[in-house]
Structure 1
């Protein structure tokens, strides 16, 4: 008896949550017709007609609206567009309830994201006699309980389930099932750019090796892939043959952090160094506080800037010689990265990260500073913020026009509650 792996994801999750929460649309919506939804988008600030599209219903997408499009542009091309502010509390609560339904039906389960989950079940078995019927039952249950559509991919392993899930998004039934026999006839003819998880490596496979299809990749010798991609070459080789040894990990969300990052999208393009520096400092404070909450320290600091229209930018990192969780140790290195790589373009989004984390209770002494006293001060500030909120104590620079901390404190996950 073998396991069948499934991947379920929700269609346009944020937008679907908003439509499902509004009774005025209930009588018009049909499970099998996604265009029965209104042309609704979730965006930053409807009153100011600013921000970007975070999610859009299929009806809005059919009119040319795309995720990450500027709201003003979307309003110019779509008829009678319904624009709503993001409500992260609603989405997180709905996600938790949906994830529980998946786990109740398939106990061998792993949450993959806020709107995705892997699951597995034995087949053939008395409990699961028809995999597609089991998936359809899950789809129907989620629609009945939440009025949210979902798509499900079924396959012999997790990676193939991700591939079939992509195809299920275009299948009228919303469910696609592959077996081992489908690898050569259905996986290999797909474009190399359809290989999930490769990102820019797909372009290298196309340009360097001349691979147009996944079947072409399967013909590349393993040695050549390893020589070009290192350990990733082994992964690519296995995927191209429809192989994946990953197991369902029910505790994936509880695993220790390997890195911690924080990102914010700015309300406008920032062109001044001092403005961006304020945002970098705010994000660094949050990253360091979260790192300390985990009882960890890190030694690779990273900075990612996204430029105007959320296009272009850079992502760079610097590895330090010692572990730290203190902003004062990391801020100069962030600003060095900023000054070294910023080309003076307008900055629209900033991400700060701390990686190479280790659990560490050690304190490296310094001849010129009382680090024990500093650590006690940091711990006290963390406790106050935990109890009274992150704006209970903040840097004076955050009160400047460029400061984002006060506005971000009203949000969950970067979006309004």
Structure 2
């Protein structure tokens, strides 16, 4: 049975994905790094250039392992302000090509150009022009996949990397998809890939031939149904704009070196500082704080706590985060900690929630948050720094967690 890839008669969904984004920004801004293997990070690799990836370097990978694989690699510290600026410039270009842009992260987005034919040309022509503008105006390489669905467009961009343009024409979905390895499908991780390989299934076409029922017996009903639909190129989702985030988060990889409790707490403070700023900028409130930890044995734990009243106050979020960290500290002492992350969930619009009236007339925490945000917006993030973060450039800002 063939399931059609949506109802589009033309491949008109683009998936635009900047290539090795952080590393490419560093190579753009420092000509001496161009053509050389570049690692962005410190104790852990946050991003690697394609020259470094050719040696097997991946992120997140401990820095010493990356340097062992690629001794000639140049390690540079992350500059998140530069990456944010570049992302905004690229998304500004996206907006010139379609009113339907769905951002997935700072370096990738879906664009629906189905209605742009009369003013801009074919989707492939638009994709080529988009790539040229990003290269000429922002100085970064970008790969674009063009297909009839979001899933296929994303797969096409992955296959087309680096710095490429790949179209999956309408009617050619299965011919493109079925020869690919099963790991190309969303939802196929290391363990699922191994289970499929153990069953003799290595390509998407072999998965499709197995059928939904047998695939469900192998992987479970939900996973089997999901992966069978993708193997038949079925993805009816539309490009959505203006979606409100259900959570925001940030994380910091700490590396394999044993960290002191004060270092771990300082990392938490840096994360909370950035999240509070992002929360207020989005005019949102949070009701639930989630702490995520990864240990030296790569096992993970999650701790969460919900508030009686939603808040955007940094000090409130920090107090809850510190409480969660204190509860988890016995595990950290026993097993070590290689990653700490914090997410703010159960978000609500600021105006949609009636807050309790503060009875303490001396409580000016909210005003202080606004004043600090204003100073940082005007003079840079380093204009005001918490004492615990002085001298700790590595925890002053954090990359976003996927939500």
Contact kept? 2:272, 2:342, Cα under 8 Å: yes
Match of 1:98 among 90, 95, 111: 90
Cα deviation digits, residues 8-67 of structure 1 (max 9, x gap): 212222222222234567xxxxxxxxxxx42141434xxxxx533333332233344443
**Aligned ranges 1:352-371 → 2 under 5 Å:** 352-359=342-349, 361-362=353-354
Q: What do residues 276-314 of structure 1 show as CA deviations (whole Å, max 9, x unaligned)?
A: 355446645664665566342313x32222345xx7141
Among candidates 40, 43, 55, match of residue 40 of structure 2: 43
Q: In the alignment, which residue of structure 2 is the partner of 1:47?
A: none
Q: Tell which has more relative contact order, 1 or 2 (C-alpha 8 A, sep 6+).
A: 2
- Assess, with a 3 A threshold, how the Cα gap between structure 1 residues 162 and 115 changes in structure 2: closer, same or farther: same
Residues 1:386 and 2:373 aligned together: yes
- For the residues of structure 2 that align with 1:139 and 1:324, how far apart are their CA atoms? 42
What is the 5 A alignment of 1:2-401?
2=10, 4-23=12-31, 37-44=34-41, 50-78=42-70, 80-122=72-114, 125-127=117-119, 130-169=122-161, 174-199=164-189, 202-203=192-193, 206=196, 212-218=202-208, 219-221=211-213, 224=216, 228=220, 230=222, 235-252=226-243, 255=244, 257-266=245-254, 269-273=257-261, 276-277=264-265, 279-280=267-268, 283-284=271-272, 287=275, 291=279, 294-299=283-288, 301-308=289-296, 312-318=298-304, 320=306, 322-325=308-311, 326-327=316-317, 328=319, 331-339=322-330, 341-342=331-332, 344-359=334-349, 361-362=353-354, 372-373=359-360, 376-388=363-375
SS at match of 1:181: coil
- Looking at structure 2, the residues matched to 75 and 411 of structure 1 have their Cα atoms a distance apart, in angstroms, of 25
Contact 1:298–1:354 under 8 Å retained in 2: yes
The answer (yes or no) to whether the contact 1:3–1:121 under 8 Å persists in 2 is no
Instruction: Report which stretch shifted further, 371-380 or 240-249.
Output: 371-380
- Name structure 1 gaps, 5 residues minimum: 26-36, 45-49, 366-370
Cα RMSD after superposing both structures: 4.2
Once the two structures are TM-superposed, the CA of residue 83 in structure 1 deviates from its matched residue by 3.7
Whether the aligned pair in 1 keeps the contact of 2:291 and 2:321 (CA below 8 Å) is no
- How much has 1:104 moved relative to structure 2? 1.8
Taking structure 2 as the reference length, what is the TM-score of the superposition? 0.75
Cα pair 1:38 1:57 within 8 Å, conserved: no
Partner SS for 1:347: coil
Paired residues, number: 378
Q: Distance in 2 between matches of 1:58 and 1:409?
A: 24
Give the match's secondary structure for 2:220.
helix
